[in-house]
Amino acid sequence: MVRCRTEAPFPPLQSSHLFFNASLMPYVAHRLVRERGKTARQQLSARRLADYLNKTERVELHIVNRAVEQMLDLEPGVSVGRDDLLAVYTDEGFHTWMMARFRERLHATTGVTLPQAPSPSVARVLALCEAVPPARRGLAMIAAATVTETLITGTLRRAGASDEIYPPVGVLLAEHAADEMRHQAAFVRFASAWVPSLSSEERECLDDLLPELMSAFLAPELALWRDHLCAIGLDGDEVDRVLRESVDPLEVAAQMMAAALVPRRLFERLGLSCADRFARLANRWRPP
């Protein structure tokens, strides 16, 4: 049976609408951006939504579903049944279709284009998985999926948590978050049984890898933000100033810690020390 959804009409786009929560775009409050008016603010939010959808799509196809393939080959009955894993696999494919359909309908209704592009953060996560010894790559992919699936619900909710959000965006993110909440519960159950079953060498590998995965996934994408600001007409010096004056490393660290709360608590409960190391990485983050 093919999963389906009811598609409500898209309303007219208002100049006050945003496509992404402004509180997650600190640079939109800068004077040089405000001087560009509502249109620039809306354009910046559309670019952030496009980046977020690109990141999410690649997580689903290249991290989560690859991990589920590994998990299906483990001993049956490891806290999450085969049916549940296949449901996650199916959901992730549906989300990718759902986002593609959303892009098409948004463009047809409003003229706004959400371009598809690679995700630097997902590329960093995949590079970390590829860098481990071949015998540990399955473990690394499951670790990456566990990280992303236990923190993505919160980020989806925050991205759409504003009265300024264009209503269809809020619906898209809320529906996705509802599915991801189930996935989060499944991965927490899985990890709770899987981690204790690992050998001491595997646990050591996991403990070393997890902080790097969380940091790679959550660090701000300043290069993309720079491109966004240039696209609204700011020159290089202005962009440097906006980012320098808008991006507070202490605030970034606090946001990274909050976003990773569920995986930090999960792995700490399972006896790993990665939460402390991630906290150090987050607090040491500085703009490149």
Question: Is 16 a member of any domain?
Answer: no
pTM of the model: 0.93
Q: What integer pLDDT is reported at residue 1 of this predicted model?
A: 34
pLDDT range class, residue 152, cuts 50, 70, 90? confident
- What is the average pLDDT across 176-195? 92
Domain assignment present for 174: yes
57-103 residue pLDDT tens: 999 999 999 999 999 988 655 667 888 899 999 999 999 999 999 99
- Would 191 be classed as within a structural domain? yes
Secondary structure letter of residue 285 according to DSSP: -
Q: 132: part of which helix (H) or strand (E)?
A: none
Lowest average pLDDT, out of 79-93, 128-142, 269-283, goes to: 79-93
The answer as to whether 4 is a domain residue is no
Q: How many domains does the chain have?
A: 1
Residues whose CB is less than 8 angstroms from the CB of residue 211 and which lie 6 or more positions away in sequence, other chains included: 274, 277, 278, 281
Alpha-carbon span 27 to 234, nearest angstrom: 12
Q: Does residue 6 fall inside a structural domain? A: no
Q: What is the CATH number of the domain that holds 262?
A: 1.10.620.20
Q: Which domain holds residue 159?
A: 22-283
Q: What is the CA radius of gyration of the chain?
A: 19
Q: How confident is the model over 229-236, as a mean pLDDT?
A: 98
Q: What is the pLDDT confidence band of residue 2, given thresholds at 50, 70 and 90?
A: very low
Residue whose tokens read 């269809």 = 168
Residue 17: inside a domain:
no
**If you ran DSSP here, which 8-state letter would residue 247 be given?**
-
In a domain, 42, yes or no: yes
Q: What is the pLDDT of residues 174-185, one digit of tens each?
A: 999 889 999 999
Mean pLDDT for the chain overall: 93
Query: Residue 250, by phi and psi: left (phi above 0), alpha (psi -120 to 50) or beta?
Result: alpha
Selection from 81, 80, 8, 17 nearest residue 49 by Cα = 17
Do the domain assignments include residue 2? no
* DSSP state, residue 78: S
